Amino acid sequence: MVLADFSVNSGAVFSEAIGNDRLDLLTDYPFTRLANLLAPITPRANVAPILLTVGEPQHTPPAIIEETLRASAAGWNRYPPVGGTPEFRAAAGDWLTRRYDLPAGLLHADSSVLPLSGTREALFMLALLAVPTRKAGRQPAVLMPNPFYAPYEGAAVMAGAEPVFLSATRETGFLPDLDALTPELLERTALFYLCTPANPQGAAAAPAYLAKAIGLARQYGFVLAVDECYAEIWLDAPPAGALQVAAGLPQADGKPWANLLVFHSLSKRSSAAGLRSGFVAGDPALIGRFSRLRSYGCAGMPLPIMAASTALWRDEAHVEENRAAYRAKFAAAEAELGGRYGYSRPAGGFFLWLEVGNGEEAAKRLWAEGAIRVLPGAYLSRSNPGEPNPGDAFIRVALVQDTDTVAQACASIVRILG
Ligand SMILES: Cc1ncc(COP(=O)(O)O)c(C=O)c1O
């Protein structure tokens, strides 16, 4: 621990970082880096900015939320139970069973589902659950796709593990190549984050791919965390889910979800990022340990929010409307982009992952010349020694605004970047 050099004369000045020095291994969060990149640039006057950076859907949230919150207002004065209400767990469990066509009764919601105040903090906290002090006598590894959702890396580093970035490029179908993982690495792997449909590329893992990942988790004794928060934003066919695949595998010892956790969120499914609502489901042994850990370190989901979330997981109409809106936006984007920048229609999610040569330069030009804010791909990925950063040449464009705005932004991207 480095002690603070506190100088009274110059105010609270710390000559060196105090506290947990693992934090210094992390870069600023991607949106902070973007703010710093674009701060010196003033977009051309009289152009309304179009913000396509954060994956925060701008669709009107379903009326169910307000109605249920009002009806459950009596719950605001109660501390919520970490494990949630039986109604919430049942709604989440029933939704998983319907969405993934699980055999009736296979998923026991009371032991296999935990509510989360958004999935981000739980994806982060998962590393505290999954990473032991040593694995196979060495520093544990946490595997993740590259590019990746930033909290995976933060979680690995803060838990004292080595983050291992697995290239997920066009050549590997935008998912990590599971066949390239060596036994040496797998033996010390404590946790593997997968994201399907992937943020940012939108690739969906096929059932055989998920089956292989589950098999590796069981063979090498690590936790497989499948982040399925874009599972409901798909274009042509609903992507497979890890529980669905696990249900179809031989269950020699009657533990269909062993080593597996899936994460689901209402932020994208229900355009309700501000509700902070999701859940984790899977291996009851892990869920039980997660519940214990969360009792120490987490705020439970407030009861009115739990009631609104319960109602949302039971409703599909608003989700279908949402999906139709994204389809229209992808169609509008495709019409403008016309296959430029290596674009091909993703399986799911709501991002364009465009190869533009130099992502940072493109983001600066788009802001300066078109007041369009996009994220350089490099801020979502890392370079491994001797390899280029797989995000360097890309920008991520979040289709979170309405269709006309998306069309206008894509037309401007083509005009500015050529
Ligand atoms: C891949 C991925 N996982 C998880 C999340 C977190 O979602 P939330 O915390 O809103 O549930 C996001 C949000 O952008 C995401 O892109």
Phi, psi of 198 (to 5 degrees): -75, 140
Residue identifier of the C-alpha nearest atom 14 of ligand 1? 55
Does the beta carbon of 55 sit less than 6 angstroms from any atom of ligand 1?
yes
**pLDDT per residue as tens digits for the range 80-130:** 999 999 999 999 999 999 999 999 999 999 999 999 999 999 999 999 999
Mutate to test the pocket of ligand 1, among 199, 264, 375 (most ligand atoms within 8 A of CB): 199
Taking alpha carbons only, the member of 266, 275, 241 closest to residue 348 is 241
Distance from the alpha carbon of residue 304 to the mean position of ligand 1, in angstroms: 22
Instruction: Show the DSSP H helices in 72-149 as ranges.
Output: 86-99, 109-112, 119-130
Burial 317-352 (b: 16+ CB within 10 A, else e): ebbeebbebbeebbebbeebbeeebebeebbbbbbb
Indicate the DSSP class of residue 348. B
Surface-to-core class of residue 11, CB atoms within 10 Å of its CB (0-12 exposed, 13-18 middle, 19+ buried)? exposed
Does the beta carbon of 199 sit less than 6 angstroms from any atom of ligand 1?
yes
**329: pLDDT strictly greater than 70:** yes
pLDDT of residue 1: 34
pLDDT of residue 414: 96
**pLDDT per residue as tens digits for the range 197-222:** 999 999 999 999 999 999 999 999 99
Kindly give the number of the ligand 1 atom that is closest to the alpha carbon of 277: 11
Distance from the alpha carbon of residue 229 to the mean position of ligand 1, in angstroms: 6
Sequence-distant (≥ 6) Cβ neighbours of residue 302 within 8 angstroms: 75, 76, 80
Taking alpha carbons only, the member of 60, 120, 36 closest to residue 400 is 60
Taking alpha carbons only, the member of 61, 139, 82 closest to residue 301 is 82
Does the beta carbon of 270 sit less than 6 angstroms from any atom of ligand 1?
no
- At 265, the pLDDT band (50, 70, 90 cuts) reads very high
Distance from the alpha carbon of residue 243 to the mean position of ligand 1, in angstroms: 19
Distance CA 203, CA 192 (A): 17
Distance from the alpha carbon of residue 112 to the mean position of ligand 1, in angstroms: 21
Kindly give the number of the ligand 1 atom that is closest to the alpha carbon of 278: 11
pTM of the model: 0.94
Kindly give the number of the ligand 1 atom that is closest to the alpha carbon of 273: 10
- At 10, the pLDDT band (50, 70, 90 cuts) reads very low
Distance CA 234, CA 327 (A): 8
**4: pLDDT strictly greater than 60:** no
**3: pLDDT strictly greater than 50:** no
Does the beta carbon of 195 sit less than 6 angstroms from any atom of ligand 1?
yes
- At 8, the pLDDT band (50, 70, 90 cuts) reads very low
Structural contact between residues 270 and 312, judged by C-beta atoms closer than 8 angstroms = yes
Q: How far is CA 363 from CA 66, 101, 166, in A?
A: 37, 42, 25
Distance from the alpha carbon of residue 407 to the mean position of ligand 1, in angstroms: 25
What's the whole-number mean pLDDT along residues 323-348?
Answer: 95
